[in-house]
Amino acid sequence: MGARVTTHKFTVDDYHRMREAGILSEDDRVELIEGEIVVMSPIGKRHASAVNRLLDKFLPLQLRRKAIISVQNPIRLGEHSEPQPDLALLVPRDDFYAEGHPGPDDVLLLVEVVESSGDYDREVKVPLYARFGIREVWLVDLEKGILEVYREPSQKGYRTRQLLGDDATVSPIAFPEIELSVSEVLG
């Protein structure tokens, strides 16, 4: 007879209570993914630079109140997940989401920048985003020098995936007027 293992899936509410109780601090680089508290990789120079370049390119959208740019802030995905993507373009709201973290319907574009965690993001986070209907996800893979664009979410994953090299350009579905050079994004 094998040993019986019992696990506990944390809810988003449990996760928030751990922060309120001081078990987790704001400085802890963790996120809640499918009920598990996952330690995020430290942010390296290239990673920070890529996020800053994207912020620079998308800033006009926020200035014109077409989107809110959210950098490394939580997105609530159901009862058991609250990832902190590197950048998200959100539907504008007057309260800037003070009443609660944005959910899937609030996300216009979600971006993850990876230096070493590409497999985890591809195999765990991107499918999670698809299941919750995030309409577009970009995975900026600094290690491989490519931008992966995921669109058309379904319960089984994204129906389309484009791999773009540094000679390509890309525009978010929600903002086709903004064209970014992949080489600029990659640095």
**Residue 81 per-residue DSSP state:** B
Q: Residues 133-158: pLDDT tens digits?
A: 999 999 999 999 999 999 999 999 99
3-class SS at 157?
A: strand
pLDDT at position 147, please? 97
What is this structure's pTM? 0.93
Q: 38, exposed or middle or buried, with CB in 10 Å at 0-12, 13-18, 19+?
A: middle
Q: Is 54 in contact with 71 (CB distance < 8 Å)?
A: no
For residue 165, the enclosing domain spans 43-186
Query: Splitting the chain (187 residues) into consecutive groups of 10 residues, what average pLDDT does each group show?
Result: 75 92 89 92 92 96 96 96 97 95 98 87 96 98 96 97 96 96 93
Element (H, E) at 31: strand 30-33
Q: How many domains does the chain have?
A: 1
- 76 belongs to a structural domain: yes
pLDDT at position 163, please? 97
Q: Residues 151-187: pLDDT tens digits?
A: 999 999 999 999 999 999 999 999 999 999 999 999 8
Q: What is the 3-state secondary structure (H, E, C) of 92-115?
A: CCCCCCCCCCCCHHHEEEEEEEEC
pLDDT at position 1, please? 55
Please give the Cα distance from 49 to 32 (Å, whole number): 25
Q: How many C-beta atoms lie closer than 10 Å to residue 107's C-beta?
A: 24
- 147 belongs to a structural domain: yes
Residues whose CB is less than 8 angstroms from the CB of residue 121 and which lie 6 or more positions away in sequence, other chains included? 112, 114, 139
The dihedral formed by the CA atoms of 169, 48, 138 and 80, expressed in degrees to the nearest 10 = -170
CATH code: domain of residue 170: 3.90.1570.10
Please give the Cα distance from 150 to 134 (Å, whole number): 10
How is the beta sheet containing 87-90 ordered, strand by strand? 68-71, 87-90, 107-114, 136-141, 146-154, 157-164
Tell me how many degrees the CA angle 62-71-106 measures, rounded to the nearest 5. 65
What are the respective helix, strand and coil percentages of the chain, to the nearest 5? 25, 30, 45
pLDDT at position 116, please? 78
